[in-house]
Copies of this chain bind each other. A is one copy, B any other.
């Protein structure tokens, strides 16, 4: 197994290395739902990115990324928030790392939690943002949506089905469900 050069063993992986690992084990991901809270802890807004797709379309996204080798989960959360929302976002990390849910993505087309790239297991956190967000150049947009706007079918339809599920679970966990008009 000499295909991995010694100088290639930092936490960042080449496309080739990532592809190799994806063929061997489930990938560990973080799914992060950035939220603005008011002073009583009530949700004011959820932040969603917009990215381009391989097919030339656009898709809204929650923040998602790997934990690197020898990186702590807390450091990885901060790194992903800063990468996508800038260094002034001031994420407020929880005192405890129990995720609000665990998400299993798989590479089988047609399934709800579909990730064409890989089998991935994501631990999901709601991350209050205390500062100001500056969109990274990797994104096409970053916008805040009220909880009510998040539940609109036209909003949810802009996310992949998997990310829409995580968003809806996060909203339900925070006590927000679409109102039922009987």
Binding site for B on A (CB under 8 A): 1, 3-4, 9, 13, 16-17, 19-21, 23-28, 35, 37, 39-43, 66-75, 78, 92-102, 104, 106-107, 112, 119, 121, 123, 126, 128, 153, 156-157, 161, 164-165, 168-169, 172-175, 177, 179-180, 182
Main secondary structure of the interface of A (DSSP, over half): loop
Tally of this chain's copies? 4
Chain B nearest CB, measured from A156 CB (Å):
6
A43 touches B95 (CB 8 A): yes
Since A70-B107, A92-B128, A95-B128 are in contact, a sample of 12 more A-B pairs with Cβ atoms closer than 8 Å, ordered by chain A residue number, is A1-B16, A26-B69, A28-B28, A37-B93, A41-B92, A41-B94, A73-B121, A97-B175, A168-B172, A168-B177, A172-B173, A173-B173
B41 touches A93 (CB 8 A): yes
